[in-house]
Chains A and B, each alone.
Chain A
Amino acid sequence: MTTKPKVSKAELAEQFRAFIDPDFVITDDETMKPYECDGMSMYCEMPLLVVLPETVEQVQRVMRICNENAVPVVARGAGTGLSAGAMPNKEGVVLSLAKFNRIVEIDPLARTARLQPGVRNLAISEEAAQYGLYYGPDPSSQIACTIGGNVAENSGGVHCLKYGLTVHNILSVEMVTAEGDVVTVGSDGLDSCGMDLLALMTGSEGLLGVVTEVKVKLLSKPEVAQVVMAGFDDVQKGGDAVGGIIAHGIIPGGLEMMDGHAIVAADDFAQAGYPRDAKALLLCEVDGTEEEVHEHIAQAEEVFRKLGATSVRTSQSEEERALLWKGRKSAFPAVGRISPDYYCMDGTIPRRHIAYVLTEMEKMSEEFGLRVANVFHAGDGNLHPLILFDANVPGEFERTEAFGSRILEMCVEVGGCITGEHGVGVEKIRQMAVQFNDEELQQFHDVKAAFDPAGILNPGKGVPALRFCQEYRSLEHKQHTHEHTEAAHG
């Protein structure tokens, strides 16, 4: 844990201004305001100050000063995170990487791109398109989120089952350590010698180092992609159809599921022509060579019909494919239209439990008096329940959080986890105690200390202090998680 900083705000600012453009050492509340939260705006905190370096050497100097003076550092990309991982520390510095926004190099033959951490996810694919290439992971926030943040969160998207997460699509990262050293983990080769530090860095939520450059792999754009949409009159059949496709030996480029509430909201928003009376909707995208896609699409249609689909529609043009996806991709704003606020959860479950989990969630929805709509990266078991609430109604957000906690605990009970791609941050730090025991959490703390002995990098995020865990695993919690276990296995 960090100790009390040894310098005042004014002293710190003065030290930074000695080597960083003074306009980018921000100390006034008004200019710092946009940094008070990330995409999880329910959690806010004003930092001590914000600094925007523009060279790696400046980042090193910032880290050395902060390390010597025990000042917390919160690295920040675009601030699109959904777990308050980039929420400032009130005694610390926000280190924005916004100025590191250059695509350094694209090598079309090697199919790689060297990127500064502030490059936007979508900008990589836009730049690579001229070579017939693209970057695989495509989180929903891809228009705004940056590659540095993607590394910190191990971001996914809708194509993970076939093309992997960030950890599968990067070759190396250059980073500045808490002590101010520059190191490169990974290389241009696919595997490096010794323990896999690159994997350890990926998804470490800014607790182990500050990424200053990333080398990513690029994929060649498939010749053809087509999407099959299948509607089902109950979620069990929809869930079974997901397994059915995979058991058939087809690995779809994307496989998404929506429940009845999400179908209607998305269709109202996008007019995608979804079957509005369906209880579950699958979007199954197959990509590859023309011949391969033709073969697999025919098989997919047949599998869905056999497993009881009430409607099956296959995109016949790029426009139609885009339209079918538009509904899914706009599901969040679509739900935003039918409720003043919504809270997006991010649990992961083994796919075979989907029907059970959705049914239980419906029951909880009644119990808490809050509506919930579900979009689901069905291919890789990643649920995104959207709890609808009104922040202006006193107590409603607290009730929403409690509902969310119960959902995450249920995910763990059926063999899943509390976060698939949004990270733990501040938001899910209490639920870490449900997924891990004290020995495991202590091991995480020890790993952290190996990188950051003084504990200055993003303190208070990701891994809970053990003293708070016992309290959370209270008798009451144990009781109802136990009930879930019984039900899940009963």
Chain B
Amino acid sequence: MADISQQLKEQVLQARDSGHKLNIVGGGTKAFMGREADVDAGTLNVGEHTGIVDYHPVELVLTVRAGTPLSEIEATLAEEGQCLHFEPPHFGAASTIGGTLAGNLSGPGRPWAGSVRDQVLGIRLLNGKGEHLRFGGQVMKNVAGYDVSRLQAGALGTLGVITEISMKVMPKPAASLTLVQEMGMDEVIHYMNSRAAEPKPITAACWVDGKVYLRLSGAKSGVEATAEKWSGEVMEQGDKFWQEVQDFHHEFFAGNDVPLWRFSVGSTAAMPKLEGNWFIDWAGSQRWFRGPGELKDLEPAARAAGGQVSLFRGGDRTGEVMHRQPEALKGIQRRIKNAFDPDNIFNPGRLYSWL
């Protein structure tokens, strides 16, 4: 547990003075994400910047240094019967909260519990000028100034070094159970959305290998009453199943030979006609695709489904991996990058080739 923000600041200033670039690394478990890192850039290690700064269970607010491992945070929250409601994926024991926010990574409960971005209340950020800035706060509602904190979600560290995060935490649900039944891919989109539209305590819905899995969580009585009304068998080890989905340990995700594409689309959109295997999560809003292809060939399918596609893991990471942006948005994002990191120090080319 250490505050190394001064040291991080000096490294940024040094890089700025000497014209060097920096790749930001926390626990080092997400090197597979985004485009390939710039091999000529130095490393800025945030992994040593750890520790819980402030935690008040009755406020439902946690403030933590960005290099703190998720496992440490979760253990602390569990002592108070609380949790990170957005169910962050762990890509190893070293996965940190800072990397989770930079990658905007959330687990199976995301459509109901919200994403990591949704839970963020404030951050401290080192910008490219070496200024250590504070945005947002430790309260649920705060509309003073632009929402620079949530802007970082998905930016893959291109706008600065997240050093500290304040976020909302939630009580662990009192009870949880999972219903499973066989169903074809052609029926499941409608089924999952219909279930999600009912006022019942559903907190996860996915489909893989011809089976649909629905999780119910909350007050025990409500969970059990709903399970009686809905079809499907109660799964023996439901929690284990969802943990595997959350951490990409489910066998669908195994191996690196076939690229893993992420379609973030409208929940009710028809399945794209593509040759390959699908894992449908978030009641249809997030669809994982394993199959060959190139970004430019998959983009029309994602657009037709109202969303975007990105290469999540594997495949060719020298070209673009994120759904390409229209010119006007490119211009805005370039200027935002310039506003935070005028010398283009942080994670060059990691998000887009042009950023």
Say yes or no for B179: interface residue by CB 8 A criterion. Answer: no
Q: Which residue of A lies closest to B158 (CB)?
A: A195
Contacts A189-B264, A194-B351, A243-B58 given; does A423 touch B221 at CB 8 Å? no
Q: Which chain B residue shows the least CB distance to A209? A: B332
In the complex, chain A residues whose CB is within 8 Å of the CB of B190: 109
Closest residue on chain B to residue A243 by CB atoms: B58
Does B100 belong to the interface (CB within 8 Å)? no
Shortest beta-carbon distance from A193 to chain B in Å: 4
| 8 Å CB interface, B147-206 against A | 147-148, 150-156, 158-159, 170-172, 174, 190, 193-194, 196-201
Is B74 located at the chain interface by the 8 A CB criterion? no
Contacts of B328 in A (CB 8 A): 177, 181-183
**Interfacial chain B residues near A202, Cβ < 8 Å:** 147
Q: Are the C-beta atoms of A417 and B144 separated by less than 8 Å?
A: yes
Q: Are A203 and B146 in contact (CB under 8 A)?
A: yes
Complex: how many Å from CA A441 to CA B282?
38
Would A204 and B146 count as touching, CB distance under 8 A? yes
- A137 CB to closest chain B CB (Å) equals 11
Instruction: Determine how close the nearest CB of chain B comes to the CB of A401; give it in whole angstroms.
Output: 18
Contacts of B336 in A (CB 8 A): 195, 447, 450
Whether B59 sits at the interface, judged by CB under 8 Å, is: yes
User: CB-CB < 8 A to B95: which residues of A?
Assistant: none
A247 within 8 A of B: yes
Q: Counting CB contacts under 8 A, is A256 at the interface?
A: no
Q: Taking the complex as formed, is B306 at the interface, i.e. its CB lies under 8 A from any CB of chain A?
A: yes
- A200 pairs with B219, CB closer than 8 A: no
Beyond A292-B219, A352-B59, whether A191 also contacts B139 by CB under 8 A is no
B139 touches A189 (CB 8 A): no
Contact A195 B219 (CB under 8 A): no
- Max chain B C-beta neighbours (<10 A), residue from A168, A196, A243: A196
Measured CB to CB, the nearest residue on chain A to B135 is A440
- Of residues 164 through 195 on chain A, the ones whose CB sits less than 8 Å from some CB of chain B are 164-165, 167-168, 177, 181-183, 185, 187-195
Q: Are B142 and A292 in contact (CB-based, < 8 A)?
A: no
Instruction: Looking at the assembled complex, report how far the CB atom of B106 sits from the nearest CB atom of chain A, in whole angstroms.
Output: 8
Kindly report which residue of chain A lies nearest to residue B202, judged by CB atoms. A220
What is the CA–CA distance of A416 and B110 in the complex, to the nearest angstrom?
A: 27
B335 contacts chain A at the CB level, 8 A cutoff: yes
Contact, CB under 8 Å: A292 / B201: yes
CB neighbours of A449 from chain B (8 A): 335, 339
Cβ–Cβ < 8 Å partners of B250 in chain A: none
- Given the interface pairs A289-B225, A415-B137, A439-B133, the reply to whether A193 lies near B155 with Cβ below 8 Å is no
Known A-B contacts A289-B199, A351-B59, A352-B58; A380 and B152 likewise in contact (beta carbons under 8 Å)? no
Residue of B127, B156, B225, B307 most packed against chain A (CB within 10 A):
B307
- Tell me the minimal C-beta distance from B289 to chain A in angstroms: 14
B20 at the interface (CB under 8 A from A): no
Residues of B contacting A14 in the complex (Cβ-Cβ under 8 angstroms)? none
Q: Which of B209-240 contact A (CB under 8 A)?
A: 218-222, 224-226
State A251–B81 Cα separation when bound (angstroms).
13
Cα A288 to Cα B199 with chains together (Å): 7
Of B1-9, B10-18, B319-327, the stretch lying at the interface with chain A is B319-327
CA distance A444 to B197 in the complex (A): 39
B193 touches A428 (CB 8 A): no
A460 at the binding interface (Cβ < 8 Å):
no
What are the residues of chain A within 8 A of B198 when measuring CB–CB?
A: 220
Which residues in chain A, 189-238, are within 8 Å of chain B measured between CB atoms? 189-197, 199-200, 202-204, 208, 220-223
Whether A291 lies near B225 (C-beta < 8 A) is: yes
Chain A 369-386 residues near chain B, CB threshold 8 A: 377, 379-382
Q: Is the beta-carbon distance between A110 and B266 smaller than 8 angstroms?
A: yes
The residue of chain B having its C-beta at the shortest distance from the C-beta of A203 within the complex is B143
Number of chain A residues whose Cβ lies closer than 8 Å to a Cβ of chain B: 97
Instruction: Decide: A188 and B266 in contact? CB cutoff 8 A.
Output: yes
A436:B145 contact, CB within 8 angstroms? yes
B131 an interface residue at 8 Å Cβ cutoff?
yes
| Complex interface: chain A residues within 8 A of B131 (CB) | 439, 443
CB-CB under 8 A for A417 and B222, given A183-B332, A195-B159, A424-B143: no
Binds A, one of B23-31, B40-48, B111-119, B252-260: B111-119
Given A110-B267, A289-B226, A291-B225, A190–B110 Cβ distance below 8 Å?
Answer: yes
- CB 8 Å contact bits of A272-310 with B (1 = contact, 0 = none): 000000000000000011111011100000000000000
User: In the assembled complex, which residues on chain A have CB atoms less than 8 Å from the CB atom of B127?
Assistant: 443
Find residues 344-370 in chain A having any chain B CB closer than 8 Å to their own CB: 348-352
- The closest CB in chain A to the CB of B138 belongs to A415
| Least CB separation from A377: chain B residue | B141
Could you tell me the distance in whole angstroms from the C-beta of A469 to the nearest C-beta in chain B? 13
User: Which residue in B57, B106, B150, B307 is a CB contact (below 8 Å) of A196?
Assistant: B150
CB of B305 closer than 8 Å to a CB of A: yes
Docked CA distance A449–B198 (Å)? 44
Q: In the bound complex, do residue A382 and residue B140 qualify as a contact, i.e. CB atoms below 8 Å apart?
A: yes
The answer to whether B221 and A292 touch across the interface, beta carbons within 8 angstroms, is yes
Whether the pair B150, A167 counts as a contact (CB closer than 8 A) is: yes
Residue of B nearest to A131 (CB): B197
Give Cα A468 to B129, complex, Å.
23
A450 / chain B contacts, CB cutoff of 8 Å: 332, 335-336, 338-339
Complex Cα gap A143–B235 (Å): 46
Answer yes or no: B352 CB below 8 A from chain A CBs: yes
Assess the A188–B225 pair: CB atoms within 8 A: no
Mark interface residues in B46-65 (1 if CB within 8 Å of A CB, else 0).
00000000001111110000
Q: Which residue of B lies closest to A436 (CB)?
A: B145
The reply to whether B139 and A220 contact each other, CB–CB distance below 8 Å, is: no
Any B CB within 8 A of the CB of A418: yes
Closest CB in chain B relative to A133 CB, distance in Å:
8
5 tightest A-B contacts by CB? Answer: A188-B306, A189-B264, A292-B222, A188-B266, A199-B150
Interface residues of B (CB under 8 A from A): 56-61, 81, 104, 106, 110-111, 114-115, 117-118, 127, 131, 133-135, 137-148, 150-156, 158-159, 170-172, 174, 190, 193-194, 196-201, 218-222, 224-226, 263-269, 282, 285-286, 305-308, 310, 322-323, 325-326, 328-329, 332-333, 335-336, 338-340, 351-352
8 of the cross-chain contacts (CB-CB < 8 Å) are A190-B264, A191-B286, A196-B150, A292-B218, A348-B142, A416-B138, A419-B144, A421-B143
14 A-B pairs besides A190-B286, A191-B286, A223-B199 with CB distance below 8 A are A111-B193, A160-B141, A167-B118, A185-B329, A187-B307, A188-B307, A189-B264, A196-B153, A203-B143, A289-B199, A379-B140, A381-B140, A382-B140, A450-B332
